[in-house]
A and B are shown apart, each in its own frame.
Chain A
C-alpha cells in the first residue's frame, strides 16, 4: 500500500529547515547529488527540554552508525524518530557540524555582499538561527546526526571520513514516533576533505504512515527498542 504523500520540496545545499514532524507521519530525505550531507537535530516538540541523545541511542543499540532498523532516542528513554528505510547502510553520528571558523579555514571567506546566496555558510549558525525561531538557543543544541555521511573508526580510535559514500538517489526515511521538531542543515560534513565549497540539494517528502505494528522492523531490531517503543507509546496514553 502506498503511503499518502503530503508534500514534497527541494532543500538546497547550505540551507536550514525545520518542521514539527507529527507522530504518524514520516520524512523521506533523498540525495539529489553525490556527496550530500544532511545534519539533523531532533527535539520533542511538546517539551523541548527532551531532545535527541546520540549517546543514549548508540549505547542502547550498540552502534556507532545509523541505518534502517535504528531508532533515535531522546534523553528520556523514548523514541523521537525511527529509521524505517535506508538505501545506504550508514549515517554518521560522530562528526558533528561545521562552524564559521572551520568553513573559513577550509573554503575561505565569502560574504553575502559578495556572492549573494552562494555565500559560505556553516551548519552551527544555521542550527542556531533555526532553533531560535522556536524559542530555543545555544543551551538547546545537541550532538547531531549527519545523514548520508560515513565516518569510520579505525583500530586505536582514529576517525576517517569515507569519500564517495552517498550518491544521488540514496534515501533515508524517518518516521516520527513522537511529535518531533526536526531541524535539518545541508552544509557539507565538517570532515569532508573536498576543497571546494559546494551546495548539494536533497528532496524532502512528507507523508502519512501507519503506526508501527507488532512486526515493525525498528521495534524488533533489538530488545532495547521493544522497550523503547513501549515507553514511547505510554507517553501518549
Chain B
C-alpha cells in the first residue's frame, strides 16, 4: 500500500527561481523543465488547485489519472506518486507533501457540471474549466501551439478530499489541508502545467471560500552543487 505519511521539503523560498501568487478564479500556465521542482502552497487552507499536465514536447501525451492510480495501486496521491502520462511516461513525481492526500477522480468543475450538480440556474458561476480554457487559449496564442478544449482531460485536485468507499461510494468532503500546507513535484520530463485555482462556491472543496495559492519553482539540485 502507498505510504500516506506526509513528508517535508528542505527547499528554501529564497533559493527559488520563480515565486508567484495565483488568486482563486485565475489560471496559471507554465513549463516546468526536467529536474526542476515546483511547490504549490495552500496559503489559507482547504483550497483546491485543479492541475493538468502535458509532455511539453507533445501535448497529446498528457497526464492519465487511471494509469497513475492503477500503477501505484491507490486512488489517492501523495509523496512517491508518479504522474503517468497517456503514453505511459512519468511526467512528474510528488517529492514532498505536507497535506498527505490529493484527489484525481473528482475532475474539474465546469459551468455545465455545476448545472447538473446544483441548480440549472447556476450556469453562470465561475468554474475551473473556464479558467483552463482561458489559460490554454492564451498559451496557444502566445506559443502558436495547439491547446484547446480537446486537451482538457484528467486532472489532479491538489488539497482536495474525495473519499472513495469500499461499497463504491464517492463524495466531496471537508478538506484535509490547512493554511501553509504544500505539495512539491519534481519534473521527470519537460512538463507543461495548466492550473485553475478553483473558484467553486457550491461545495466544501474550497471551504466555501476560495483563496490564493503560491507557486515556487527551484532549478535542478545538481546546479547548486
Residues of A within 8 A of B (CB): 49, 53-56, 58-60, 62-65, 73, 75-78, 90, 94-97, 99, 101, 137-144, 152-159, 190-191, 224, 227-228, 230-231
Residues in B whose Cβ lies below 8 Å from that of A53 = 107, 113
Q: Looking across the interface, which residue of chain A has its beta carbon closest to that of B172?
A: A59
Residues in B whose Cβ lies below 8 Å from that of A99 = 88
Asked whether, in the complex, the Cβ of A158 is within 8 Å of the Cβ of B1, the reply is yes
A96 to B85, CA, bound (A): 12
B116's contact among A62, A77, A143, by CB below 8 Å, is which?
A: A77
Majority DSSP secondary structure for residues of B touching A: loop
* Stretch with Cβ within 8 A of A (4 or more), from B6-14, B23-31, B67-75, B178-186: B67-75
* Stretch with Cβ within 8 A of A (4 or more), from B38-46, B145-153, B190-198, B208-216: B145-153
A224's contact among B64, B86, B116, B155, by CB below 8 Å, is which?
A: B116
Q: Looking across the interface, which residue of chain B has its beta carbon closest to that of A154?
A: B166
Asked whether, in the complex, the Cβ of B107 is within 8 Å of the Cβ of A158, the reply is no
A159's contact among B74, B149, B165, by CB below 8 Å, is which?
A: B74
19 contacts between A and B (CB under 8 A): A49-B149, A55-B106, A55-B107, A56-B107, A58-B106, A58-B170, A59-B105, A59-B162, A62-B169, A62-B171, A64-B165, A75-B113, A78-B112, A94-B69, A95-B70, A141-B153, A154-B166, A191-B70, A224-B116
Asked whether, in the complex, the Cβ of A140 is within 8 Å of the Cβ of B150, the reply is yes
Besides A58-B170, A64-B170, A96-B67, 10 other CB < 8 A contacts? A55-B108, A64-B164, A75-B152, A94-B75, A138-B86, A156-B76, A158-B1, A159-B69, A159-B70, A227-B116
